[in-house]
Amino acid sequence: MTLLAVENVTRRYRLPRRALLKPPAVLTAVDAASFTLERGRTLGIVGESGSGKSTLARMVMAFEKPDAGRVLFEGNDLAALSPTKLRSLRPHFQLVFQDPYGSLNPRRTVGWSIAEPLRATGQADRNRVSEALDQVGLRPADAERYPHEFSGGQRQRVAIARAIVTRPSLLVADEAVSALDMSVQAQILNLLMDLQDELGLAILFISHDLSVVGSICDSIIVMKHGKIVEYGAAEQIMRVPEKGYTRSLMKAAGLI
């Protein structure tokens, strides 16, 4: 079964009212987007800010419901699930945040933060936390330390440990390497590739940087103003980008 299928998904937001007697304007953040992601594969979504890529991620994570269309995870329509059913499914798809400093509780040990998704499903298992730390290249003893004791790259490892602690089959990485320095970015990209090969994870990799997406993803979606303007095998798109917009993203990434 296809792991993740996004079918004609649309999400609109009402903008603040500009005039009393006119209806508020509506922004279509995601406009009829469709794609699929198979187990163990990597799909990249690139686009500039405001292109709708993060909105799409939030719908895949079931943080938001689409106004039209369906998000199917292992065949389940996420928006139609009961809260209980959704909670039991959540361990299978997890999010890696962009800014680990903002997403880790500074007053709790990282071990506590990593165990959070486990507690949410009532299975607080210390061994899983140690195992996850080990998988991301940290020591089990690091569980007792606090976020400020880690460097930026290590904090991103902690964020990844938290995302994989429930042994998910899908990881959504929203700008997960964008804030990192060049040499550290390479370390984290390697880690993601290692984890993927070891655990058979599928990754939905969201970034504005086509050099990153073009390197590690099997297929690529290029988004602009909420619409998918290009979707295909990474190799194909990187070799012969169809759209001028894709070409300009390549130029910005220094690829051409």
Partner 1 sequence: MIEASKLTVSLGAGQAVRDVSLLVRPGDRIGVVGESGCGKTMLGLAMIGMTPAAAKVSGSLRLDGAEMVGAGEKSWQALRARRVAMVFQEPMAALNPIKRVGDTVMEPLIVHMGLSRAQARERGLSLFEEVGIPDPEVRFRQFPHEISGGQRQRVLIALALTCDPGLLIADEPTTALDANVALKITELLARLARDRTMALLFISHDLAAVTRATQDMLVMYGGDIVERGKTAAVLSNPRHPYTQGLLSARPRPENVRETDGSRKRLPTIPGAVPPLTDLPAGCRFAGRCPIEMSQCATVRPVEQEGTICHQLEAAT
Closest CA to 115 of 162, 149, 168, 155: 162
Q: Are 228 and 52 in contact (CB under 8 A)?
A: no
Nearer to partner 1, 81 or 253 (CB): 253
Nearer to partner 1, 109 or 248 (CB): 248
Phi/psi at 78 (5° precision): -60, -35
Under the rule (CB under 8 A), what is the footprint of partner 1? Answer: 48-49, 151-153, 181-187, 189-190, 193-194, 208-212, 214-216, 234-235, 238, 248-249, 251-255
Nearer to partner 1, 91 or 137 (CB): 137
Least distance from partner 1 to the Cβ atom of residue 167, Å? 22
Nearer to partner 1, 6 or 188 (CB): 188
Least distance from partner 1 to the Cβ atom of residue 141, Å? 19
Nearer to partner 1, 125 or 197 (CB): 197
Give the 3-state DSSP-derived string for 81-134, with helices as H, strands as E and coil as C.
CCHHHHHHHHHHEEEECCCHHHHCCCCCCHHHHHHHHHHHCCCCCHHHHHHHHH
Nearer to partner 1, 72 or 237 (CB): 237
Least distance from partner 1 to the Cβ atom of residue 214, Å? 5
Least distance from partner 1 to the Cβ atom of residue 69, Å? 27
Least distance from partner 1 to the Cβ atom of residue 95, Å? 22
Least distance from partner 1 to the Cβ atom of residue 176, Å? 13
Least distance from partner 1 to the Cβ atom of residue 236, Å? 11
Nearer to partner 1, 82 or 183 (CB): 183
If residue 213 lies in a helix (H) or strand (E), which one and from where to where? helix 210-216
- Parallel/antiparallel/unpaired status of strands 4-14 and 26-37: antiparallel
- Residue tagged 């279509």 (tokens): 28
Rounded Cα distance, 196 and 163, in Å: 13
3-class DSSP state of 30: strand
